[in-house]
Amino acid sequence: MNSNVNIEGKSIEDKSNSAWLKLALEGANDGYWVWDIINDKVYYDRSFEKLSIMNNSPTHFSYDLIDDIINPLDIDRFKNTLDKYLKKKIKPFKIECRVKTNSMAYEWVLIQGKASWDENDEPIYMAGSYTFLSENTDSVDNYFETQRMLKETSALLNVIFNNIPDPICVKDKEDRIIQCNPAALTFWKQSKSEIVGQKCNNMCEKPCEETATQKSYKYKKPFKMQKYIEHMKKWIDIMSYPVLDDDNNIQYLIEHIRDITDLKRSEMILQKHIGLQERLLEEANEYDKLKTEFFANISHELKTPLNVIIASLQILEKYYTPRDNGVKYTKIMKQNCYRLLRLLNNLIDMTKIDTGFVKLHLENKDIVSFIRQITLSVSHYIENKSIKLIFDGTEDEIIMAFDSEKIDRIMLNLLSNAAKFTPSGGEIRVRVSEEDNHVIISVKDTGVGIPYEKQQLIFERFGQVDSPITRHNEGSGIGLSLVKSLVELHDGVIEFYSEEEKGTEFIIKLPIKITDEKITSEKNKNVIINDEENLYIELSDILD
């Protein structure tokens, strides 16, 4: 290194005290420089002898000559980095670039330094070092490896850009197209020379008031929007992605266009289908409402004359003696009136359940005692068919909230079914137990059982095990459907197990709940409200 480093108008004081520093610098591989920014002079040491600039001045040069020193491929990057550093936007100043040597070849150097600013943040001096990287094999190898990887990545991106099926445009800060892929040329039906330099919004007959691109320029964020291009009869999905520099300024903007015309057509067709389905559903609901109202009205209309017939038959019974033939026919007519009345009652109840008009009247009562009394009330009619009826209660008492009238209907229906399909000499067992805070009610018979292929129809409305032509027993096919609905009103479930020629068991599981109403001994005593006529109606299918 020179014996001193000169700065015009300035000198390094105490030269004798820096002799050790000079020796150290001369023995180092690095070179050093000082830039007097105000006077625009760059001072350097002996290491700069390798540079072509030494032919101009042995001690210093103007900063303007930097263009002659640094490789043209690196000069813009060098100046941009230096400018950002002097404006205190980055730190430290450090860059690798190529410089021209006396042999007119370029060699890689690492340049780094620090600056000094005045009170107005204006730079006045800058000093630093440079290291020739030709002696640093790893650094050079890393650079060329990086360049190789960049070329490979660039080639890969270029292949993707040119072969992606969607139109893609690259735009500058002024919103002008500077690059586009082949798909964009096909989409706009224009050549590259016709597209480059244009603004996408101007390529439409009716420009948008605010585009996704404009939003990206404004907010520096990706945006997406849909637009219908009238003259092309196409719907497009536009997505814009800004490319920002280190200072968060937009350098480029990538615009991705996707043709969604087919998707829009499918959506419109789907909306039409949905609208049609909604209309059909509305019509079906209206039809169902009319059907429900019809059943309710016809049931009530039929019930009135039927009650008149039953009342007339009851009067006739008083005038017949036991030996009169009229007694026999009166009983037959009365029984069939009860069957018809039972059917009407079931239809009315099903209609009320469908329309949500059935409400539970819950009372806290002993359900064991209640089921026992129902069983006893029908024992006479069932035993007249030579069928044994047994009640088995594992618990003495289970207090819970239930609707007496609904449970009464459930039990009479199940008992009637069991008696109807159990031959003489058979057995029906009613069992009540408690399990996991639920009451379990079982009605089990030793009857004919239900064929496996018919079991899925049991709880279906109007479902029948026998066909209408070969039916051996009376019944409408809505009784068990009603039973299931009444059980579910109590938040319970009903299931069954059946085997042909061995019998069927229906099991009801009801949650044990208590209402806020107090339990009274009087209410517990009056747990059953069946009268004889109600029994006749519910058991009309099995009465002789």
- 3-state secondary structure string, 12-73? CCCHHHHHHHHHHHHCCCCEEEEEECCCCEEEECHHHHHEHHHHCCCCEECHHHHHHHECHH
Amino acid type, 206:
K
Same domain, 330 and 380: no
What pLDDT score does 25 carry?
46
Same domain, 140 and 285: no
DSSP 3-state assignment of 500? coil
Decide if 64 is inside a domain.
yes
- Extended strands (E) in 260-331: none
For the record, the structure tokens of 206 come out as 């009716």
> How does strand 493-499 pair with strand 438-445?
unpaired
Residues contacting 416, CB < 8 A, separation 6+:
479, 538, 539, 541, 542
> How does strand 427-435 pair with strand 388-393?
parallel
Decide if 459 is inside a domain.
yes
For the record, the structure tokens of 148 come out as 């190789």
With a cut of 70, say whether residue 519 has pLDDT above it. no
Q: How confident is the model at residue 53 (pLDDT cuts 50, 70, 90)?
A: low
Residues contacting 451, CB < 8 A, separation 6+:
465, 500
pTM of the model: 0.48
- Rounded Cα distance, 131 and 346, in Å: 102
Determine which of 182-191, 224-233, 448-457 has the lowest per-residue pLDDT on average.
224-233
Same domain, 121 and 175: no
Task: Verify cis geometry, omega within 30 degrees of 0, for the bond prior to 92.
Answer: yes
Domain extent for 325: 270-354
When pLDDT is averaged across residues 393-401 and rounded to a whole number, the result is 89
What pLDDT score does 389 carry?
94
CA-nearest of 431, 321, 451 to 368 is 431
Answer yes or no: are the C-beta atoms of 500 and 370 closer than 8 Å. Answer: no
Last residue of a domain, one of 316, 335, 354: 354
Q: What is the CATH number of the domain that holds 309?
A: 1.10.287
Last residue of a domain, one of 354, 378, 401: 354
Query: 392: which strand partners?
Result: 431
When pLDDT is averaged across residues 105-133 and rounded to a whole number, the result is 88
Q: What is the CATH number of the domain that holds 94?
A: 3.30.450.20
Same domain, 384 and 486: yes
Residues contacting 132, CB < 8 A, separation 6+:
29, 50, 107, 108, 109
DSSP 3-state assignment of 157? helix
Decide if 239 is inside a domain.
yes
CA-nearest of 425, 420, 437, 444 to 544 is 420
What pLDDT score does 364 carry?
93
Same domain, 320 and 438: no
Answer yes or no: are the C-beta atoms of 352 and 297 closer than 8 Å. Answer: no
Percent helix, percent strand, percent coil in the chain, to nearest 5: 45, 25, 30
- 276-314 pLDDT, tens digit per residue, is 888 888 888 888 777 777 777 777 777 788 888 888 888
Most confident of 59-63, 106-110, 135-139, 344-348: 106-110
Collect contacts of 95-100 with beta carbons under 8 A, ≥24 apart.
96/133, 96/139, 96/143, 97/70, 97/71, 98/70, 98/71, 98/73, 98/74, 99/51, 99/69, 99/70, 99/71, 100/51, 100/52, 100/68, 100/69, 100/70, 100/71
Decide if 9 is inside a domain.
no
Decide if 158 is inside a domain.
no
Determine which of 24-33, 231-240, 452-461, 481-490 has the lowest per-residue pLDDT on average.
24-33
The percent of residues above 70 in pLDDT, for the chain, comes to 81
Taking the CA atoms of 133, 135, 139 and 140 in sequence, report the sign of the dihedral they define: positive
What pLDDT score does 204 carry?
63
- 65-103 pLDDT, tens digit per residue, is 888 889 998 999 999 999 999 998 888 899 988 888 888
When pLDDT is averaged across residues 373-395 and rounded to a whole number, the result is 90
Helices 261-319 and 325-354: crossing angle in degrees, nearest 10, is 150
- Rounded Cα distance, 124 and 147, in Å: 36
What pLDDT score does 143 carry?
63
Decide if 420 is inside a domain.
yes
In this structure, the number of other CB atoms found within 10 A of the CB of residue 158 comes to 11
- 236-250 pLDDT, tens digit per residue, is 888 888 888 777 888
DSSP 3-state assignment of 287? helix
Question: CA 245 → CA 168, 170, 219, 252, 303, distances in Å?
Answer: 21, 16, 15, 9, 87
DSSP codes joined into one string, 384-396 = TTT-EEEEEESSS
- 485-518 pLDDT, tens digit per residue, is 999 999 999 999 999 989 999 999 999 999 886 5
Same domain, 92 and 239: no
Query: What is the 8-class DSSP label of residue 540?
Result: T
Decide if 5 is inside a domain.
no
Same domain, 380 and 515: yes
Mean of per-residue pLDDT scores for the chain:
80
CA-nearest of 413, 407, 415, 409 to 439 is 407
Answer yes or no: are the C-beta atoms of 350 and 485 closer than 8 Å. Answer: yes
Same domain, 280 and 211: no
Last residue of a domain, one of 206, 236, 259: 259
CA-nearest of 375, 487, 475, 480 to 420 is 475
Residue reference for tokens 């066909």: 467
With a cut of 90, say whether residue 151 has pLDDT above it. no
What pLDDT score does 498 carry?
93
For the record, the structure tokens of 19 come out as 């002799």
Same domain, 195 and 218: yes
Helices 325-354 and 479-489: crossing angle in degrees, nearest 10, is 50
Helices 404-420 and 367-383: crossing angle in degrees, nearest 10, is 30
For the record, the structure tokens of 421 come out as 């399909």
Q: How confident is the model at residue 443 (pLDDT cuts 50, 70, 90)?
A: very high
Burial of 75 (0-12, 13-18, 19+ CB in 10 A): middle
- Rounded Cα distance, 15 and 55, in Å: 28
- Rounded Cα distance, 310 and 331, in Å: 10
Determine which of 6-10, 197-201, 348-352, 470-474 has the lowest per-residue pLDDT on average.
6-10
Q: How confident is the model at residue 1 (pLDDT cuts 50, 70, 90)?
A: very low
With a cut of 70, say whether residue 2 has pLDDT above it. no
Q: What is the CATH number of the domain that holds 514?
A: 3.30.565.10
With a cut of 70, say whether residue 524 has pLDDT above it. no
When pLDDT is averaged across residues 188-196 and rounded to a whole number, the result is 86
With a cut of 80, say whether residue 535 has pLDDT above it. no
What pLDDT score does 55 carry?
57
DSSP codes joined into one string, 176-245 = -EEEE-HHHHHHHT--HHHHTT--GGGGSSS--SS-HHHHHHHHSS-EEEEEEEGGGTEEEEEEEEEEE-
Q: How confident is the model at residue 203 (pLDDT cuts 50, 70, 90)?
A: low
Decide if 476 is inside a domain.
yes
When pLDDT is averaged across residues 405-410 and rounded to a whole number, the result is 92
When pLDDT is averaged across residues 47-71 and rounded to a whole number, the result is 74
Same domain, 170 and 237: yes
Same domain, 368 and 494: yes
When divided into structural domains, the chain yields a total of 4
DSSP 3-state assignment of 301? helix
Same domain, 306 and 223: no
DSSP 3-state assignment of 250? strand
